Amino acid sequence: MISLLLATLTQSLTLIPLALGINLSYTLLRATDMTIDGSFVLGAGVFAQLVTMGISPIIAFLVALSCGAVAGAFTAFLQNGGKVDPLLAGILTSFILYSVNMAIMGRPNINLLSTPTLFSGAFAHSTTLGWFSVALVVGLLVVAFYTLLQSRLGLCLRAFGDNPALLSRQGYNVTYLRVTGFSLNNLLAAASGAITAQIIGYADIGMGVGMTLIGIGAIVLGQHIILPFIKKHYLRAGSELLAGFIGIALYFFILNGLLRFNINPIYLKLLLGILLALFLRTATRKASFS
């Protein structure tokens, strides 16, 4: 059981920034941003390519984050100009990102096993220290993100998701807010991608497939477990954050748990899907009463 929890914890840790990003797009901005599938790979790919070229991992990490932000800005830009639906804009961007990622990486798979990364030093010392350093980087991102959510910008982003037309009539620059929101969200996805690449030892062109879905599933799951307990609305940002953590952890708990049943893996995704559907169903039933 302890090994199961440990496996859950380490796996969730790398995807926490992604969960934050999806929390931002799905809960605050109220948009299903499929760009994440692409920007996750973009973050991993840019980071892998840069460190392979011998650039310092810290700089590579920061550049990877910025690239994610640019991808998000592009999705926002698509929505601004042609009034493309956010879902469609995201799919379009991640479609384009496929080629961009290939161009940046130059090959479909970049190996990081013998390349110094942000965490390689710590992992060489001991696994515990390694995971501690990962937790540190993720923690920094979480704190930065939480501070942002609590600021006026966070309020504006939430208002944008609630009612962009009213926000615009109140004199706010909606375009700016949309770009900021989508950039941040994809920056976090790219961060998750870059961290994941360092943990699993490579960046791969196909590693982002389904990430948005896992993220949204986890967020919704987490929220419906935790939000009923939160009565005070000023605790909202914090509880949403917590919901993201819990959701992601639960997803991996279930995944790792199912593996332990020695279930034929052909049915694993079916079971995982049914479990998620069960949770989501209870979630929607709750929502229809409130």
Partner 1 sequence: MTPLLQFEHITLKHPSLERPILDDINYTVQKGDCVVVLGANGSGKSSLLKLLDGRYRTNDGKVLLKDKNILSLSSRTRAHCIHTLTQSAQDNLFLDLTIFENYQLIQKRNKADAIDSLADYLQAFNVKLAAKLDVLVARLSGGEQQALALALAVLYPPEILLLDEHTSALDPKTAEHLMALTARIIHERHITALLTTHNVSHALTYGDRILALKEGCVHDCIERNDKENLTAEMLMARCY
Partner 2 sequence: MKYIFTCLGLFSLLLLTACGNKHTTASNDEPKSIKIGIIIPIEHPAMDEITRGFEETLTADLKQPIEFQVMRAQGDVNLQRSMILQLQNKGVDLYAPIATQTTEMTAAMIHDRPIVGVAALLPESTRAKSQLALVDDEITPTQIIQFIHAIYPAKTQLTLVYSNNDKMAPQVDEAVAAGKTLGIQVDKRMITALPDLYSIAQSLSPQTQGILVLKDVLVVSGIATLSQTASQKHIPLISADDGSVQNGSGFALGVKEYQIGVEGAKVAEQILQGTPVATIPTVQMTKLSVFINTKALTAQGQDLAAIEKEAAKDHYAIVDVTSKPVGDLK
Q: How many residues can be counted in the chain?
A: 290
In the bound state with partner 2, the residue whose beta carbon lies nearer, of 82 and 210, is: 210
Q: How far is the CB of 174 from partner 2 (least distance, A)?
A: 35
Of the two residues 169 and 281, which places its CB atom closer to partner 1 in the complex? 169
SS3 label, residue 54: coil
- Does 256 engage in binding with partner 2 (CB under 8 A)? yes
Cβ atoms of residues 243 and 222 within 8 Å: yes
DSSP assignment of 211-266, as one string?
HHHHHHHHHHHHHHHHGGG---GGGHHHHHHHHHHHHHHHHHHHHHHHHHTT--HH
Site string for partner 2, 215-254 (x = CB under 8 A): ---------xx--x---------------------x-x-x
Decide: is 62 part of the binding site for partner 2 (CB under 8 A). Answer: no
> What 8-state DSSP symbol labels residue 23?
I
Asked if residue 246 lies in contact with residue 23, where contact means CB atoms within 8 angstroms, the answer is no
Instruction: Indicate whether 255 belongs to the interface with partner 2 (CB under 8 A).
Output: yes
In the block, tokens 């991808």 appear at 71
Burial class, 229, CB count within 10 angstroms (exposed 0-12 / middle 13-18 / buried 19+): exposed
Q: Is 171 in the site for partner 2 (CB under 8 A)?
A: no
Please report whether residue 114 would count as binding partner 2 according to CB under 8 A.
Answer: yes
Strand partners, 204: 109
Q: Which amino acid is at 131?
A: W
Residue 234 binds which one of partner 1, partner 2, none, with CB within 5 to 8 A depending on kind? partner 1
CB 50, CB 60: distance < 8 Å: yes
Of the candidate residues 199, 213, 236, 238, the single one contacting partner 2 (CB under 8 A)? 199
Q: What is the dihedral of CA 50, 51, 54, 58, to 10 degrees?
A: 100
Q: β-strands 109-111, 202-204: how paired? A: antiparallel
Nearer to partner 2, 135 or 268 (CB): 268
Among partner 1, partner 2, none, the one that 156 touches (CB under a kind-dependent 5 to 8 A) is partner 1
In the list 78, 156, 191, 275, the residue contacting partner 1 (rule: CB under 8 A) is: 156
Interface with partner 1 includes 107 (CB under 8 A)?
no
Which residues here bind partner 1, judged by CB under 8 A? 152, 155-156, 158-159, 161-163, 165-173, 232-234
Write out the residues near partner 2 by the rule CB under 8 A.
Answer: 1, 3-4, 7, 10-11, 98, 102, 106-109, 111-114, 124, 199-202, 204-207, 209-210, 214, 224-225, 228, 250, 252, 254-257, 259-261, 265-266, 268-269, 275, 278-279, 282, 286
